[in-house]
Chain A
Amino acid sequence: MIEYIKTRFRDHHKLLISVSLLFTISLFILIAEFLLSYYQYTINKTVDKKEANRTLIIYNVTKEMTNQDFIELSKIKHIINIYEEYTNWNLKEKDKIFLLQNNYNITNTKINIGHNINSPNEVLINKTAANEYHLSIDDQINLNDKYKVKIVGIINNDEIPSIYFENKALRNIALQEQAFLNKMNIVIDEYQNLNFVIKELQNRGYEAIKNETLDQEVNRLEEIINNISFGIYFIILFTIVITFSIFNILVKNEIKNNALLKLIGYKNKNIVFMNFIYLLIIIIISLLSNSVIYFFLKLILDINNCFTIPYIEYLSIISYIFLLYFIILVIISLINHLKLHKIDMLNIIEES
């Protein structure tokens, strides 16, 4: 049987046409996926670059925010961080007044000068505080006569004497002191989830504000992505139709030879199996040539530091294409099997 399948490849013309058609279609899908990945990548970069833009500033429009809000908000999906705005919250030590801040700001804007807070009672202070109150690293201070903390670093930030706590420690203090705030900052995991979080906040009676200019930029990119995604659906539909037709033509083209095989005693399942293997090999050849193009392109683009689809992503794309082709092949084979059952040898033989 394998010998017979091999002889089918003597028809170079047919082989070339079918392979190049399947190859072209898979290339279309690849290019579309490439564009999609490229724009996704651009969005992520844009959003990443402007870290602060993943931040929402929320106001409570009806009442002042309490620690209860703090706990409530942390339950919303996609929120990875909430931190209090410092404006109206102070802690005292003797005659010193400190503005209370979250070290999140510092670590994320990368102005931390190498001092890290490792435990809840370690803090950073700013230069203003250090100068005004004559404080230095390793000094102990007792805030509100309750919180003994140790200064582990001095940073250059803000005009008002401030003290920077680790997030969790700050939350604890907030709970005990029952501080009142009117706004908090929220950081979410992905820019794409911004709208979801805004809606959640609105449902809970808060008002949320986000950066408008970035929003426009991302919206534009997202629009492009949507268009490409739509294009991909179209291409997949197109692929299904074209592949179906190609296979159908190939199988129909074989009907005379299939009838001949049947005539000399081959069983339907043998014939269908041989057609199946033949088409499977065509699929594999066309996807292999697609891979060759991909690796070649990747080589050139990598040298020029251009964006390329990563191997893993490419592999998943090519697997999907293979799956698509394969499913169509199975359907065609089943149809072929039914057709062979009803084949009218008389007609086929007389037609020839």
Chain B
Amino acid sequence: MNNVVLKCQSLKKTYKKKNRKLVILKDINYEFKSGHVYAIVGKSGAGKTTLINILGLLKKQDSGKIFILNNDVSKINENKASEIRNKNIGFVFQSFYLDPLLTTEENIKLPMLLNNSLDKIKINERVKKLLKEVELEDRETHFPKELSGGEQQRVAIARALANNPDIILADEPTGSLDPENEENILNILKSLAKKGKCIIIVTHSKTVREYADIVLELKKGILEEVSRD
């Protein structure tokens, strides 16, 4: 339950804009373990989203190493990164980010279509199970615009869980939700951690801080554990 699933070593990232160098991540070192909820806090513009994107292999760091399930993934190519994202990482965003032309069911299925070990029957079974987990059994044929924000976010979580990944990366997942829905989503994420997933949440919210097992602050390009309050 407590093995390291995601490790980063001396991650560095700078943006160059009009000859001005902007150091966003200076030296990030951390080991994320399974079964925990991590909250990453920090001022706006501190580089939280950048960090999450680098951890999710959506962006390349300038230097430093990333290990996912003890495999060095710092120098893999784009296709390999896609495979890892599909199998090992689930993403959740503030704006839900669902495909507007797909129903709830189809949105959840989407990552599974790439998974060769799942046939049609297994996919449908899995979709049913996930829908139940996020309490949306009766919304399977709804399109995103027919769902409330909280419901959309639950669909996004179900989709993130599609291929049973070890890591969930969530960038302000409750940022656009009311307190009630926020708690609902956090409860789901928390229960996922209990089942052994590693949940990393970027947040501004006090509630998320309270829910997290460990709070990390990103400040001046350094990531450090801080107290929960």
Q: Known contacts A4-B110, A11-B101: does B95 contact A263 (CB below 8 Å)?
A: no
- Per-position 1/0 for B155-183, Cβ under 8 A of A: 00001001100000001000000000000
Whether, in the assembled complex, B82 has its beta carbon less than 8 Å from a beta carbon of chain A, the answer is yes
Across the interface, do B86 and A264 meet the contact criterion of CB distance under 8 Å?
yes
Across the interface, do A264 and B49 meet the contact criterion of CB distance under 8 Å?
no
Cα A76 to Cα B112 with chains together (Å)? 73
Across the interface, do B58 and A264 meet the contact criterion of CB distance under 8 Å?
no
Cα A81 to Cα B159 with chains together (Å)? 81
Q: Known contacts A10-B101, A263-B91: does B78 contact A346 (CB below 8 Å)?
A: no
Cα A265 to Cα B106 with chains together (Å)? 16
* Chain A, 1-50, CB within 8 A of any chain B CB: 1, 3-4, 7-8, 10-11
Residues of A within 8 A of B99 (CB): 7, 257, 260
Determine which residue in A7, A264, A268, A344 has the highest number of CB atoms from chain B within 10 A of its CB, and name it.
A264
* Chain A, 178-196, CB within 8 A of any chain B CB: none
Of the residues A1, A4, A11, A346, contact of B49 by C-beta under 8 Å: A346
Across the interface, do A264 and B159 meet the contact criterion of CB distance under 8 Å?
yes
Whether, in the assembled complex, B85 has its beta carbon less than 8 Å from a beta carbon of chain A, the answer is yes
Whether, in the assembled complex, B76 has its beta carbon less than 8 Å from a beta carbon of chain A, the answer is no
Of the residues B82, B83, B162, contact of A262 by C-beta under 8 Å: B82
Cα A250 to Cα B93 with chains together (Å)? 25
Residues of B within 8 A of A7 (CB): 99, 101-102, 106
Whether, in the assembled complex, A241 has its beta carbon less than 8 Å from a beta carbon of chain B, the answer is no
Q: Known contacts A257-B99, A265-B82, A341-B78: does B114 contact A349 (CB below 8 Å)?
A: no
Cβ-closest chain B residue relative to A263: B91
Cβ-closest chain B residue relative to A256: B97
Whether, in the assembled complex, A96 has its beta carbon less than 8 Å from a beta carbon of chain B, the answer is no
Residues of A within 8 A of B98 (CB): 260
Across the interface, do B78 and A264 meet the contact criterion of CB distance under 8 Å?
no
Whether, in the assembled complex, B50 has its beta carbon less than 8 Å from a beta carbon of chain A, the answer is yes
CB distance from A261 to the nearest CB of B (A): 8
Whether, in the assembled complex, A267 has its beta carbon less than 8 Å from a beta carbon of chain B, the answer is yes
Determine which residue in B102, B159, B171 has the highest number of CB atoms from chain A within 10 A of its CB, and name it.
B102
Whether, in the assembled complex, A352 has its beta carbon less than 8 Å from a beta carbon of chain B, the answer is yes
Residues of B within 8 A of A352 (CB): 93, 95, 97
* Chain B, 58-114, CB within 8 A of any chain A CB: 58-59, 78-79, 82-87, 91, 93, 95, 97-99, 101-102, 106, 110-111, 113-114
Majority DSSP secondary structure for residues of B touching A = helix
Cβ-closest chain B residue relative to A3: B113
Determine which residue in B53, B58, B86 has the highest number of CB atoms from chain A within 10 A of its CB, and name it.
B58
Across the interface, do B53 and A346 meet the contact criterion of CB distance under 8 Å?
yes
Across the interface, do A8 and B101 meet the contact criterion of CB distance under 8 Å?
yes
CB distance from B131 to the nearest CB of A (A): 17
Across the interface, do B58 and A263 meet the contact criterion of CB distance under 8 Å?
yes
Of the residues A3, A263, A267, A346, contact of B79 by C-beta under 8 Å: A267
Cβ-closest chain A residue relative to B159: A264
* Chain A, 322-352, CB within 8 A of any chain B CB: 341, 344-346, 349-350, 352
Residues of B within 8 A of A346 (CB): 49-50, 53, 58-59
- Per-position 1/0 for A218-261, Cβ under 8 A of B: 00000000000000000000000000000000000000010011
Determine which residue in A261, A262, A349 has the highest number of CB atoms from chain B within 10 A of its CB, and name it.
A349
Residues of A within 8 A of B93 (CB): 349, 352
Across the interface, do A265 and B83 meet the contact criterion of CB distance under 8 Å?
yes
Residues of A within 8 A of B111 (CB): 264-265
Residues of B within 8 A of A264 (CB): 85-86, 91, 110-111, 114, 159, 162
Across the interface, do A265 and B101 meet the contact criterion of CB distance under 8 Å?
no
Whether, in the assembled complex, A295 has its beta carbon less than 8 Å from a beta carbon of chain B, the answer is no
Residues of B within 8 A of A350 (CB): 49
* Chain A, 263-300, CB within 8 A of any chain B CB: 263-268
CB distance from B196 to the nearest CB of A (A): 21
Across the interface, do B53 and A265 meet the contact criterion of CB distance under 8 Å?
no
Of the residues B78, B86, B97, B101, contact of A349 by C-beta under 8 Å: B97
Residues of B within 8 A of A11 (CB): 101
CB distance from A121 to the nearest CB of B (A): 85
Residues of B within 8 A of A8 (CB): 101
Cα A26 to Cα B22 with chains together (Å)? 51
Cα A344 to Cα B15 with chains together (Å)? 13
Cα A267 to Cα B163 with chains together (Å)? 16
Q: Known contacts A10-B101, A349-B93: does B85 contact A263 (CB below 8 Å)?
A: yes
Q: Known contacts A349-B93, A349-B171: does B114 contact A265 (CB below 8 Å)?
A: yes
Cα A352 to Cα B86 with chains together (Å)? 22
Binding site for B on A (CB under 8 A): 1, 3-4, 7-8, 10-11, 257, 260-268, 341, 344-346, 349-350, 352
Binding site for A on B (CB under 8 A): 49-50, 53, 56, 58-59, 78-79, 82-87, 91, 93, 95, 97-99, 101-102, 106, 110-111, 113-114, 159, 162-163, 171
Supply 15 further A-B pairs (C-beta < 8 A) apart from A264-B86, A264-B159, A265-B83: A257-B99, A260-B99, A262-B82, A263-B56, A263-B91, A264-B111, A264-B114, A264-B162, A268-B79, A345-B58, A345-B59, A346-B59, A349-B95, A350-B49, A352-B93
Closest 6 CB pairs of A and B: A265-B86, A264-B111, A345-B58, A352-B95, A265-B85, A10-B101
